[in-house]
C-alpha cells in the first residue's frame, strides 16, 4: 500500500487530537492509501491467498455441506474480488500500525456497513458528543468533505474494524472506546482509514508522572499540549 500525503488530512489530524474534556482526550487519525502493492504487500497477498484457498479446499470435503467460513463481509471468499478486499484492509492496517502484524487476522473482525450515514451518526454521537460548539460542527463538515474528495463517498464500500484484545493495536493503552472505519473505492483503487479513540486524561497523566495527587493531573490537562482549536483557527487551517 502506498501512503498518500495530504495537507488537509494532516490539518484534520491535528484538529482531531485537540478535542478533549477534563476526563478524556480524543486521538484521531485520517490516512489515505493507494492500493498499489509494495514488495511486502505482494508477499502478504500470496500468503493470504494460499491460506484462504487451502481452507476452501478443506471445506469442499463431503463432511462440509455448507460452511459459514466462506461467508465474509467482503463477499464469498472463493471469489477473487472478496479476497482482494480482505487483503487491502489487512495491508492498510499493517501500514498504519507498523509495530503490529495483522496477517493472521480473521475476517470476522470486519463488518460491512450499508451507508455512510451510519458512520456519520456514530461519529456525531461519540467523537463530537464531547464538544458541542461551532468549531466542532465545522470540523465535522471538513472531515467528510476531505474523505469525499479523497475517495468519493458515493462510490465507496465502508467497513468497520472491531478487533478483540489479541489484535487491538490499542490494547495496552488507557482507551475508553475506539472506532475504526475503512472507505474503499475500488474504481480509484484507494482507501481512507478514519480511526479515532477516547483515552483517559487521568490515566494518561498518571502513566506520565507516576503516583502524584489528582490535583496535579488536572492542572496538567491545561498545559500547552492540550490547546483546543477554536472556530477561527479551523477556518484558517482550511481556507
pLDDT for 141-197, tens place per residue? 999 999 999 999 999 999 999 988 777 888 777 788 999 999 999 999 999 999 999
> Which cell numbers hold the place of 229?
482549536
Buried b (16+ CB within 10 A) or exposed e, 149-175: ebbebeebebbbbebeeebbbbeeebb
For residue 12, the cross-strand partners are none
pTM of the shown model: 0.82
Per-residue model confidence (pLDDT) at position 96 = 92
Helix (H/G/I), strand (E/B), else coil: 27: strand
Beta-carbon contacts of 87 under 8 Å, excluding residues fewer than 6 positions away, are 44, 45, 48, 49
Q: What is the pLDDT of residue 138?
A: 84
- Report the distance separating Cα 90 and Cα 49, nearest Å: 13
What pLDDT is recorded for position 22? 79
**Res 151: pLDDT:** 97
Could you write out the three-class secondary structure of 85-114?
HHHHHHHHHHHHCCCCCCCCCCHHHEEEEC
Set of cell numbers at residue 217: 493531573
Number of residues assigned to the chain = 239
Helix, strand or coil, per DSSP, at residue 24 = strand
Q: Domain 2-237 carries which CATH code?
A: 3.40.1000.50
Tell whether the torsion through CA atoms of 68, 195, 19 and 225 is positive or negative: positive
Q: Which regions in the chain score pLDDT beneath 70? A: 60-69, 131-134, 203-239
Amino acid at each position: 500500500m502506498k501512503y498518500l500525503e495530504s495537507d488537509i488530512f494532516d490539518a484534520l489530524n491535528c484538529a482531531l487530537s485537540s478535542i478533549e474534556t477534563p476526563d478524556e482526550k480524543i486521538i484521531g487519525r485520517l490516512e489515505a492509501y493507494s492500493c498499489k502493492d509494495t514488495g511486502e504487500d505482494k508477499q502478504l497477498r500470496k500468503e493470504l491467498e494460499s491460506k484462504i484457498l487451502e481452507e476452501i479446499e478443506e471445506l469442499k470435503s463431503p463432511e462440509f455441506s455448507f460452511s459459514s467460513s466462506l461467508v465474509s463481509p467482503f463477499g464469498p471468499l472463493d471469489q477473487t474480488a472478496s479476497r482482494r478486499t480482505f487483503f487491502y484492509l489487512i495491508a492498510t492496517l499493517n501500514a498504519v500500525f507498523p509495530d503490529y502484524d495483522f496477517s493472521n487476522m480473521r475476517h470476522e473482525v470486519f463488518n460491512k456497513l450499508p451507508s455512510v450515514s451510519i458512520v456519520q451518526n456514530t461519529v456525531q454521537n461519540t467523537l463530537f458528543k464531547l464538544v458541542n460548539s461551532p468549531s466542532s460542527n465545522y470540523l465535522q463538515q471538513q472531515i467528510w468533505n476531505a474523505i469525499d474528495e479523497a475517495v468519493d463517498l458515493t462510490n465507496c464500500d465502508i467497513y468497520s474494524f472491531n478487533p478483540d484484545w489479541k489484535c487491538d493495536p490499542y490494547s495496552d493503552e488507557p482507551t475508553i472506546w475506539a472506532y475504526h472505519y475503512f472507505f474503499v473505492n475500488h474504481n480509484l483503487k484507494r482507501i481512507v482509514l478514519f480511526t479515532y479513540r477516547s483515552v483517559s486524561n487521568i490515566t494518561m497523566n498518571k502513566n506520565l508522572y507516576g503516583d502524584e495527587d489528582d490535583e496535579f493531573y488536572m492542572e496538567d490537562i491545561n498545559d500547552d499540549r492540550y490547546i483546543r482549536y477554536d472556530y477561527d483557527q479551523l477556518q484558517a487551517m482550511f481556507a
